[in-house]
Amino acid sequence: MPDNPHPMRDGRCRRSDYAVFFVGQIAVNIALNIDIDTARGAREGLPRLLEVLQQHHAQATVCIHLGRDAGAPRLEGASWRLRGRWYGWGSLLRGRLWPGEALGPYAAPSCLAAARQAGCETGLRLAASRAWRGELPATGLKQRLSRFRQLTGLQPDSPLVVSLPQGCASWPLLRLAQQCGISLLTGVAGQAPFMPVYRAEQVEVAVAPITLPSLWQARGKDAQPGDDAVAALLAHTEPSSATGQLYCASAELEGGPWLAQFDQLLAGWRAQGHQLMGLTDWLNQAPALPHHAWEMHGPRHAARQGTALFQLAADTAD
């Protein structure tokens, strides 16, 4: 492993997130990220997921949205009936028929405390994916970051993880992320961690892409995820052909109707010999991240690093 660590602002060396994806000769580390978008996910889904993680001696990064509950995020290919059953009709209609509950003042403190008690890292989920358009005023982002640091006790120079809903972000937002001290962005589909470059400009904010399909994307032609989806995901991480991976779970789905499948998935990964951990491990003696173009597609600025590893699976499921 090369001896070229990234220096932090205080002069210390940090181990890049690429270390989380270090490929061993037999098995690899799999990073887990849990996103919380709704009050239901915070109150019901997260406690279930933390219990399952502890059963399998796994850790994860828990990213919570601090704004108002904007209701159930869209799920490509899922009908209103399915979304209502999975998320709950009350959650589905929040932001449409009645205002959503603010997660920051009430749900977030207990969620963050529970995650830390379970040995998990915590991060910030920028916005509900339904309302996201890739643009956020500087004051809005700074207020969210300030509130998150108050809740977690993070110092301004401490590593900070931010999850982008559906990988949507504009390049000005990445510039702002660097100014605000964000150290890692996730939520982007891709193949390996990298440092983003756009039109010959680069920012010192690492990006850890999601490399594995969700249970919904891996379901194939089935109406909903089942044993076949779990088997398809485990095939992606066979020790003989696996590379470093990142899986993103939803507190509302993996912590709700898909909990049994998520439990099977963690058990399968542990049986394959993988270590399950959170996103950041900022210590020294780590390889440098490669620079890669920050690719934006469509009006919503959905970004990805090349072709996602699970693109074929996603196309098959459509």
Q: Which tens digit of pLDDT belongs to each residue from 69-84?
A: 767 677 776 777 777 7
Determine the distance from the C-alpha atom of residue 4 to the mean position of all C-alpha atoms in its chain, rounded to a whole number: 26
Q: Over 60: is that where the pLDDT of 16 sits? A: no
CA dihedral 221, 223, 227, 230 (to 10 degrees): 70
Average pLDDT (140-166) is 85
Question: H or E segment at 147?
Answer: helix 138-152
Residue 170 CA to residue 132 CA, distance in Å, equals 11
Q: Which CATH superfamily is domain 6-317 in?
A: Glycoside hydrolase/deacetylase (3.20.20.370)
∠ CA 86-47-130, rounded to 5°: 45
Tell me, what DSSP letter sits at residue 248?
A: E
What is the tens place of the pLDDT at every residue in 196-223? 998 889 999 988 888 899 898 888 666 5
Q: Where are the domains of the chain?
A: 6-317
Report pLDDT for 297.
58
Beta strands in 48-183 (DSSP E): 61-65, 121-125, 161-163
- Would you call 113 helix, strand, or coil by DSSP? helix
Report pLDDT for 310.
40
Cβ–Cβ < 8 Å for 292, 307 = no
Determine the distance from the C-alpha atom of residue 10 to the mean position of all C-alpha atoms in its chain, rounded to a whole number: 27
Cβ–Cβ < 8 Å for 53, 59 = yes
Percent of the chain at pLDDT above 70?
70
CA nearest to 50, candidates 66, 34, 30: 34
Identity at 107, one-letter amino acid code: A
Burial (CB < 10 A; 0-12, 13-18, 19+), residue 199, is exposed
Report pLDDT for 114.
94
What is the tens place of the pLDDT at every residue in 172-192? 888 888 988 898 998 888 887
Provide the token pair at 316.
């098959």
Scan for tokens 């008690």, then name that residue: 117
Cβ–Cβ < 8 Å for 90, 188 = no
CA nearest to 115, candidates 187, 37, 30, 45: 45
Provide the token pair at 170.
């504009």
pTM comes to 0.81
Residue 102, Cβ neighbours under 10 Å: how many? 14
Provide the token pair at 103.
């997660």
Report pLDDT for 224.
65
CA nearest to 69, candidates 110, 42, 103, 96: 103
DSSP string of 251-318, one letter each residue? TTTTTTTTHHHHHHHHHHHHHTT-EEE-S----SS-PPPPEEE-EEETTTTEEESSS-TTHHHHHHH-
Report pLDDT for 1.
38
Confidence of residue 306 (pLDDT cuts 50, 70, 90): very low
Report pLDDT for 53.
96
Provide the token pair at 29.
């580390």
* Start-to-end Cα distance in the chain: 40
Identity at 307, one-letter amino acid code: T
Q: Over 80: is that where the pLDDT of 47 sits? A: yes
